[in-house]
Amino acid sequence: MNRQEKPPVDNLTELMEFVLLGFADMPQLQRFLFGLFLIIYIIILMSNGTVFLIIKMDPALQSPMYFFLANFSFLEICYVSATLPRMLMNLGTQRRRISLVACATQMCFVLIFAGTECLLLAVMAYDRYVAICYPLHYPLVMSNRVCILLATGSWTIGIPGTIGHTYQIFSLSFCRSKQINHFFCDIPPILKLACGDTFVNEASVYIVAVLFVMVPFLLILGSYSKIVSIILKLPSATNRAKAFSTCSSHLMVVMLFFGSGIIAYLRPNSRHSEETDKVLSLFYAILTPMLNPMIYSLRNKDVIMALRKFLCK
């Protein structure tokens, strides 16, 4: 008589699939949400893609500020593409299963792109700081070589740590519910499914969040405190208005992205709510990439002029 052997506990993780619940609690809105997020995804791709193209093609926009903005627009396309296609597929097919390998891959890319965004926003703040506080030294300090090094560092510096962090999380045994009450594979909802003590993993989440979220955020705040003090000393009201206009758009993006990210990752565990985390994730993973090109282009005369020339062509 053949007996069906039970898989060892150590192999449960390898055999497992997760279920991304997403909007499963709103079955009557599935088609509406699919259409809504499809439109949002198209808007993000077209708007950020257009900003990227016009900066690359227009000779008037070949400056460090626009070089970083082009990197930022391309990053937003990558960032949102790590989450929205899977969300759209789940809404369209109602098949919410995701393999452990696919979940780990998604988490890894989301963390890499989120870390890159934090660092790139800090670099953009430093660029504005040098341009406003040390305008005579700006061409020397922000040379083409320095800009490439800063952009490359923003894209690559967090990759080894992110891969290691993702491997550490998915090396755990998952013996609880397979259901992830989230739109994508994010750290907090995954850790809730893990067996045993997850203190080391939770501590590493805080360390990574401090290094890649809080440190860049504090550097940005420091840069802008210096920028504001310099702007207020400018004799011309026109120059003050121009300087504030240049910086305010970047600051709006910073507050929206970092505010939701800090609340999501640096709250005490006792205050974590799955529904709150889902709402916050919509801000930093979807809403910010959609609003960024609108904020930058609508508040920047050079980008608007370049866009008009691009459309005329």
Q: What is the CATH number of the domain that holds 141?
A: 1.20.1070.10
| pLDDT in the model for residue 268 | 66
In-domain check, residue 5: no
Residue 193 confidence (pLDDT) above 60: yes
| Residues 49/77, Cβ–Cβ less than 8 Å | yes
Residue 9 confidence (pLDDT) above 50: no
Q: Which of 43-52, 186-195, 229-238 has the lowest mean pLDDT?
A: 229-238
Dig out the tokens for 90 from the structure. 């789940």
Q: Which of 34-48, 91-105, 274-288 has the lowest mean pLDDT?
A: 274-288
87-90 contact pairs (CB < 8 A, 24+): 87/20, 87/22, 87/37, 87/183, 87/184, 88/34, 88/37, 88/38, 88/41, 90/20, 90/22
| More confident of the two residues 219 and 294 | 219
Count how many domains the chain has.
Answer: 1
In-domain check, residue 17: yes
Residue 4 confidence (pLDDT) above 50: no
| pLDDT in the model for residue 269 | 62
In-domain check, residue 18: yes
Q: State the average pLDDT over residues 179-190.
A: 89
Q: Of all residues in the chain, what percent carry a pLDDT higher than 90?
A: 36
- Parent domain of 149: 13-312
Which residue shows structure tokens 């439109």? 39
Alpha-carbon separation of residue 14 from 67, 135, 165, 170, 203 (angstroms)? 43, 56, 18, 10, 25
N-term to C-term CA, the chain: 77
Q: State the average pLDDT over residues 223-249.
A: 76
In-domain check, residue 59: yes
| Global model pTM greater than 0.85 | yes
In-domain check, residue 7: no
| Residues 220/122, Cβ–Cβ less than 8 Å | yes
In-domain check, residue 1: no
Q: State the average pLDDT over residues 30-41.
A: 93
| pLDDT in the model for residue 243 | 67
pLDDT averaged over the chain?
A: 84
Predicted confidence (pLDDT) per residue in 202-213, tens digit: 888 888 888 888
Q: Which of 81-95, 149-163, 291-305 has the lowest mean pLDDT?
A: 291-305
In-domain check, residue 4: no
| pLDDT in the model for residue 1 | 43
In-domain check, residue 3: no
